[in-house]
Amino acid sequence: MVYDYYASGAEDQWTLHENRNAFSRILFRPRILVDVSNIDITTTIMGYKISMPIMVAPTAMQKMAHPEGEFATARAASAAGTIMTLSSWGTSSVEEVASTGPGTRFFQLYVFKDRNVVKQLVRRAEKAGFKAIALTVDTPRLGRREADIKNRFALPSNLTLKNFEGLDLGTIDKTNDSGLASYVAGQVDRSLNWEDVKWLQTITKLPILVKGVLTAEDAKLSVQAGAAGIIVSNHGARQLDYVPATIMALEEVVKAAEGKVPVFLDGGIRRGTDVFKALALGASGVFIGRPVIYGLAADGERGVRKVLQMLHDEFELTMALSGCRSIKEITRAHITTPWDGPRVSPRL
């Protein structure tokens, strides 16, 4: 049940596979005879310097994967010198994650029907030292995840959604359907709209990243609504099936944002080569979901550290072999995509 929950996508799972397959259609145009004896893969995200443009995406209920759950992920991200995003639906609270020690952390937010709950969550995240809110906007209802329906998914009885303890928000129990789908139907606000993005700015000073953008139109509206950043995401292919892979939607969103806010990619990243391709298409950084969960399940904190180290090393190697010494040297000219026209060689 737990593996299916983490691994599966919505309905036919076409987008789940496309999130990966789309990367394979983007090829490199490496430059040679560049002095790559020194490579700097550090970058600055929302004003915070991090070791690499690879961050941890919000994934729910991590103690289902390993007893230490979000604690282990927080420590591993901090050790790697990068940002962790904590899910609203964490099995550890914002305060507990903050207690693991120093580190730059973002808080992923679902907007509940009870706005007082939203205010409480945001204020607690602020007080616990979180640096940004990642507002998930693609989940007015939960996608049809047929593996969860088949398994009658429920949160194991020894675990709770720690951020909601004492808030009378119900529990994710076994039903004839997916327990999570039933929970979301009862709690998450389906009326969420652009005015709410503006409202959120009145209750917090934290920058707000809009997570779940796939089109140029919504990228422009995000900027107009005062978002500090955009996360191109299809929710790990768990919401609407047959939307494009995030890497396919990225360039459209980057162009629409016109450099006014940073654009990040979440979805399908499995190797350092994928990170490079995302940056070449205009992303300021990427968020990693399932690989972190699988590392956590395999070996706890050490597993997550290993995943982040592998991605770090692969990305650095890709930069070297492409002739790039710093993040700013990665350009659109370093890749070719299926939607590029025939390339006309300059006359020599």
DSSP conformation class of 157: T
List 17, 66, 235, 334, catalytic entry: 235
Instruction: Establish whether 233 is an annotated binding residue.
Output: yes
Instruction: Establish whether 244 is an annotated binding residue.
Output: no
Instruction: Establish whether 272 is an annotated binding residue.
Output: no
Instruction: Establish whether 290 is an annotated binding residue.
Output: yes
Structure tokens given for 290: 């399932």
Instruction: Establish whether 291 is an annotated binding residue.
Output: no
What radius of gyration, in Å, describes the C-alpha atoms of the chain?
20
How many angstroms separate the first and last alpha carbons of the chain? 60
Instruction: Establish whether 145 is an annotated binding residue.
Output: yes
Which positions ≥6 away from 76 have C-beta within 8 Å?
301, 302, 304, 305, 308
Which positions ≥6 away from 19 have C-beta within 8 Å?
234, 236, 237, 245, 246, 247, 267, 268
Rounded CA separation 229/44 (Å): 13
Residue 30: CB atoms within 10 Å: 14
Q: How far is CA 223 from CA 10, 259, 282, in A?
A: 29, 10, 16
CA dihedral 309, 109, 66, 302 (to 10 degrees): 20
Instruction: Establish whether 128 is an annotated binding residue.
Output: no
Instruction: Establish whether 115 is an annotated binding residue.
Output: no
For the four alpha carbons of 322, 257, 137 and 91, in that order, the dihedral sign comes to positive
Instruction: Establish whether 110 is an annotated binding residue.
Output: yes
Instruction: Establish whether 108 is an annotated binding residue.
Output: yes
Instruction: Establish whether 127 is an annotated binding residue.
Output: no
Instruction: Establish whether 5 is an annotated binding residue.
Output: yes
Rounded CA separation 25/338 (Å): 7
235 belongs to the catalytic site: yes
Rounded CA separation 269/67 (Å): 25
Instruction: Establish whether 235 is an annotated binding residue.
Output: yes
Instruction: Establish whether 270 is an annotated binding residue.
Output: yes
108, 211 contact by CB (below 8 A): yes
Instruction: Establish whether 166 is an annotated binding residue.
Output: no
Known catalytic residues are 235
Q: Residue ranges for the binding site? A: 5, 58-60, 87, 108, 110, 136, 145, 211, 233, 235, 238, 266-270, 289-290
Q: Residue ranges for the binding site for FMN? A: 58-60, 87, 108, 136, 211, 233, 266-270, 289-290
Q: Residue ranges for the binding site for glyoxylate? A: 5, 110, 145, 235, 238
